[in-house]
Amino acid sequence: MTSVLIVEDEPAIAQEIALILESEGYQIAGIAGSAAKALDILALRKPDIALLDIALKGHDNGVDLAHIINKNYKIPFVFLTSFSDQLTLEKVKETYPYGYIVKPYKDKDLAPALEVALMRHSVFGKKSFPSREKLHNQAGVSLTKQEYMVLEEIWKGHKNKEIAENIGLSINTIKTHISNIYLKLDVHNRGAALAKIRSLM
């Protein structure tokens, strides 16, 4: 049975979602109102997929949590939120979610969204990051060794500070590399860069 982590700071809404998904045959791995609680459940119960609100209790929001999931847990997630403004969407796209549902939602929308997300993850999740040679040969993109390393870190869901620490470069150097990567890929943000990489997989 597929297990779902529900991350929602409104208890009544969380319980409603749980009942809907249980009626569709899903097992609820846990309900969390904060990113910290969600991380506890992720570590303990290892759910198959997560349903994430953006506005959460505590310091970290749903977008922050999504980055951590990408880095440490590698499970698909779908956002379920009332936010639909462009600024939020740009931040969300950097996490490369498997779905985005805007509240108020319809009960019948939840299970199909999770099913599609799980299917897409089963396909894309098994594919490896393309080599520098493949980027050059198939897309005509010639990256330096450091640019390629930075792009791979972005693919893993890491933020600029983490990339700088992992590679051993300054934040400003990382930002310069990212600007060059965007220019070479002909994109303007991380979401578009990731989409272009996925098209080569």
- Give the residue among 142, 164, 145, 144 at the shortest CA–CA distance from 154: 164
Domain of 166, in residue numbers: 132-198
The verdict on 115 and 82 lying in the same domain is yes
pLDDT (0 to 100) of residue 94: 85
The verdict on 14 and 101 lying in the same domain is yes
Last residue of a domain, one of 124, 142, 161: 124
The verdict on 94 and 8 lying in the same domain is yes
pLDDT (0 to 100) of residue 172: 96
- β-sheet with 100-102: strand ranges across: 27-32, 3-7, 49-52, 77-81, 100-102
Tens-of-pLDDT digits for all 201 residues of the chain?
Answer: 899 999 999 999 999 999 999 999 999 999 999 999 999 999 999 999 999 999 999 999 999 999 999 889 989 999 999 999 999 998 998 888 999 999 999 999 999 999 989 988 876 665 677 889 988 888 889 999 999 999 988 887 778 998 999 899 999 999 999 999 999 999 888 777 877 887 776
145 burial level (CB within 10 Å; 0-12, 13-18, 19+): exposed
Q: How many CB atoms lie within 10 A of CB 84?
A: 10
> For the domain that residue 186 is a member of, what is the CATH number?
1.10.10.10
Total domain count, the chain: 2
pLDDT (0 to 100) of residue 129: 79
> For the domain that residue 119 is a member of, what is the CATH number?
3.40.50.2300
- Give the residue among 38, 101, 87 at the shortest CA–CA distance from 67: 38
